[in-house]
């Protein structure tokens, strides 16, 4: 009867620690700078890598006038997609999407003088 009581006590002490780790994000809800495999894992929505040999890490989305990639199915970007409300003004060709070179710049679609 001592063993089940010790086991119950250990579980009660570990439960808050386990739930805290899930909130912080081990697989999803990752902070900028943490390693990722897909953009859906990141709080920001962008899993970014510098080149084909680098590890991907969560990064903030691109702001206005910053270089961007259109949203893709790959889930990992060389340039992050734009922040909400902005569009990525890029050449969206099949060749560009396959070779991952269809970069552009974020712009506000409501700015008529910048079109």
Cα separation values, 68 from 44, 86, 102, Å: 14, 10, 9
pLDDT surpasses 50 at 56: yes
Overall CATH class of domain 26-109: mainly beta
Query: Do 87 and 109 form a contact (C-beta atoms < 8 A)?
Result: yes
pLDDT surpasses 60 at 81: yes
The residue-averaged pLDDT of 63-75 equals 87
pLDDT surpasses 50 at 25: yes
Per-residue pLDDT at 3: 46
pLDDT surpasses 70 at 68: yes
The residue-averaged pLDDT of 28-50 equals 95
Per-residue pLDDT at 112: 63
The residue-averaged pLDDT of 87-101 equals 72
Query: Do 70 and 88 form a contact (C-beta atoms < 8 A)?
Result: yes
Q: Which residues pair with 30 in a beta bridge?
A: 42
Residue 106 or 92, more confident: 106
The residue-averaged pLDDT of 19-34 equals 74
């Amino acid at each position: 009867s001592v063993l089940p009581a010790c086991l119950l006590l250990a579980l009660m002490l570990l439960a808050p620690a386990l739930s805290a780790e899930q909130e912080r994000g081990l697989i999803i809800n990752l902070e900028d700078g943490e390693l990722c495999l897909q953009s859906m894992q990141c709080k920001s929505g962008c899993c970014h890598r510098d080149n084909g040999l680098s590890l991907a890490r969560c990064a903030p989305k691109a702001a206005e006038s910053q270089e961007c990639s259109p949203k893709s199915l790959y889930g990992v970007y060389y340039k992050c997609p734009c922040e909400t409300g902005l569009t990525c003004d890029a050449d969206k060709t099949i060749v560009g999407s396959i070779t991952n070179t269809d970069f552009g710049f974020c712009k506000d679609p409501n700015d008529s003088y910048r079109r």
